[in-house]
């Protein structure tokens, strides 16, 4: 009789543990489903509304994503749940890239020109060339001159004025870099690029001005 009571007691304890475990797993699955549903619902919100509350959307996403990731530990066989999380994560990242592109204003024509001459975002309104040093200045000149050479027929007179402004700023930086260990070999190569740029600038700016004057007469 005593043994029966002990076995019954153990069975009740095990049943209690199982019940708690099942409840914990159920809660974990709900958190993951909530995360998946959030990603799907965000994609249905109007773009204007998303733009106004994008910071809040991202904060809520981060919270739900973290909860879902932690919930995996409470699911015994979580391969399916993991796949659900990963699928939603990819969906959200793709959607986020789309929204970021929509929310970010297109750069001005001047900034687009600077990006082409030096690289995306390297030169902004502050016109800082502090990132140019003795190790990379030759490649900076190289990109600048080759970009101008490849696009010289499409530049307007205003473009050439901006190019000249950027060229002079780069030259000014070179004067500083020369004192910081610029090699004689790189200095020689830069001189060659400068010799190529000077007549190209003069001739093509004159041509752009002539074209604009001809268009104005029409």
* pLDDT band, residue 197 (cuts 50/70/90): very high
* Distance in angstroms (rounded) separating the CA atoms of residues 147 and 118: 9
Given this model, what pLDDT does residue 101 score? 83
Find the mean pLDDT for residues 93-108.
85
* pLDDT band, residue 3 (cuts 50/70/90): very low
Q: Is the pLDDT of residue 191 over 60?
A: yes
Given this model, what pLDDT does residue 209 score? 61
Nearest to 123 by CA among 108, 101, 102: 108
Phi/psi-derived region of residue 119, left when phi > 0, alpha when psi is between -120 and 50, beta in every other case: left
* Distance in angstroms (rounded) separating the CA atoms of residues 94 and 49: 18
Helices 137-151 & 109-118, crossing angle to 10 degrees?
Answer: 130
Residue 35 vs residues 65, 86, 103, 203: alpha-carbon distances, Å: 6, 11, 24, 61
If you count them, how many residues does the chain have? 218
Domain spans in the chain, listed from the N-terminal domain onward: 2-103, 109-217
* Distance in angstroms (rounded) separating the CA atoms of residues 22 and 15: 10
* Distance in angstroms (rounded) separating the CA atoms of residues 91 and 86: 9
Mean pLDDT of the chain: 85
Greater pLDDT, 13 or 126: 126
């Amino acid at each position: 009789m005593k043994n029966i009571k002990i076995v019954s007691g153990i069975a009740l304890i095990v049943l209690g543990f199982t019940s708690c475990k099942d409840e914990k797993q159920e809660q974990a699955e709900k958190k993951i489903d909530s995360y998946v549903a959030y990603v799907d619902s965000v994609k249905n919100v109007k773009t204007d509304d998303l733009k106004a509350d994008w910071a809040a959307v991202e904060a809520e996403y981060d919270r739900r994503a973290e909860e879902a990731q932690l919930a995996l530990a409470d699911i015994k066989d979580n391969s399916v749940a993991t796949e659900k999380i990963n699928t939603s994560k990819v969906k959200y990242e793709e959607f986020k890239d789309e929204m970021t592109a929509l929310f970010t204003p297109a750069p001005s024509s001047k900034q687009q020109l600077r990006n082409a001459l030096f690289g995306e975002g390297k030169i902004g309104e502050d016109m800082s060339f502090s990132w140019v040093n003795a190790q990379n200045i030759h490649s900076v000149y190289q990109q600048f001159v080759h970009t101008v050479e490849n696009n010289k027929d499409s530049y307007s007179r205003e473009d050439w004025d901006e190019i000249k402004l950027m060229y002079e700023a780069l030259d000014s930086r070179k004067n500083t870099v020369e004192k910081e260990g610029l090699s004689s070999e790189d200095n020689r190569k830069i001189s060659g690029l400068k010799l190529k740029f000077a007549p190209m600038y003069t001739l093509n700016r004159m041509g752009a001005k002539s074209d604009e004057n001809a268009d104005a007469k029409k």
